[in-house]
Structure 1
Amino acid sequence: MSIKIIPFKPAYAPIFKELNQNWIEQYFTVEPKDLYLLENCQEHIIDKGGYIFFAKKEDTITGCFALLPVSNTTFELGKMAVSTEFQGLKIGQKLLSFAIEFAKEKSWETLILYSSTKLDNALHIYKKFGFKEVPLEKNLDYTRSDIKMQLTL
């Protein structure tokens, strides 16, 4: 199975929104910050110095993730989703591996992410790739976030 990782194109914005809403609704509730980022990802992620990438199998977008700037050397990995019909094919791991390599190429120092301890599989994969749990701030944008992880590059 050949998976290509491709950059954001405005035509893919609705797919980015759909992939993310689907996984969030499967486990949680879509929150105001989700809608803010997903309703206009070009304006709220790309135009603010962030990145969005997609996994593509033949002509089908199968997954996505975003990198949101925290500082010049720290980015947040977020909005990672894989379509339910393509789960179990290690697409999430391919996306994560690409994100880490991309961050290294940009000479960033740190990737952070926020997740939920309900997502055992995701946490296992993050740990496998070297992310370590770090203290969680108070007053986060998402009520579902109960764990913060960091990867020093």
Structure 2
Amino acid sequence: MSLEIVSFESNNSEHIDSFRMLNEAWLKKYFSLELNDSKVLSDSKANIINKGGYIYFARYNGDIVGCYALLPYHHRQYELSKMAVDPTYQGLKIGQTLLKHAIEVGQRNKWEKIILYSNTLLENAIYMYKKHGFKEILLEENLPYSRSDIKMELVLT
């Protein structure tokens, strides 16, 4: 297996298209595309990168098969968002590799914590987050997505 994690290149149309398509696919499969999703995915450079965020991809045997984003949340805190793996490649631990990479990015940058919003219907994802040390915390009102029914955090410092 040849798996590498690569960072977003704003001049790479494959990166822009893959990020949008991978996320739209899982969102439409389990939920629906919300207004905030459409906004972020329509211009990921403006809505993530230019706001101090990061996007990374899993490249497997030369093909982009997964991705995730890290969005500024509060001072030295980031939100893990838009993690997706192409269904054809699920079961190869690509999601776990992406999650470990996100944690390493946070540790390298000396962030306090990484938070995430998810939905308990995504049992495999919730299990993976817990396995890597994320703990459930209080879910506030006025959530960024109506599908969110769980908030988790991983304290890094």
Q: The residue matched to 2:121 in structure 1 has which SS?
A: coil
Unpaired runs of at least 5, structure 2: none
Which residue does the alignment assign to 1:23? 26
User: How far 1:93 sits from its partner (Å)?
Assistant: 0.0
User: How far 1:58 sits from its partner (Å)?
Assistant: 2.1
Q: What does 1:123-138 align with in structure 2 at a 5 Å threshold? A: 123-138=126-141
Unpaired runs of at least 5, structure 1: none
- Aligned residue identity for 2:155: T
Give me the whole-angstrom Cα distance separating, in 2, the residues matched to 1:49 and 1:80: 18
- Aligned residue identity for 1:116: N
Give me the whole-angstrom Cα distance separating, in 1, the residues matched to 2:144 and 2:116: 13
Which residue does the alignment assign to 1:119? 122
Q: The residue matched to 2:74 in structure 1 has which SS?
A: coil
Which residue does the alignment assign to 1:8? 8
User: How far 1:66 sits from its partner (Å)?
Assistant: 0.1
Which residue does the alignment assign to 2:106? 103
1:68 to 68, 71, 75: 71
Q: The residue matched to 1:112 in structure 2 has which SS?
A: strand
Which residue does the alignment assign to 1:47? 50
- Aligned residue identity for 1:105: R
RMSD of Structure 2 on Structure 1 (CA): 0.6
User: CA offsets per residue over residues 89-143 of structure 1, 9 Å max, x none?
Assistant: 0000000000001100000010000000100000000000000000001011211
Q: Percent identity?
A: 50
- Aligned residue identity for 1:133: E
- Aligned residue identity for 2:110: S
Q: The residue matched to 2:133 in structure 1 has which SS?
A: coil
Instruction: Give the total of aligned pairs.
Output: 153
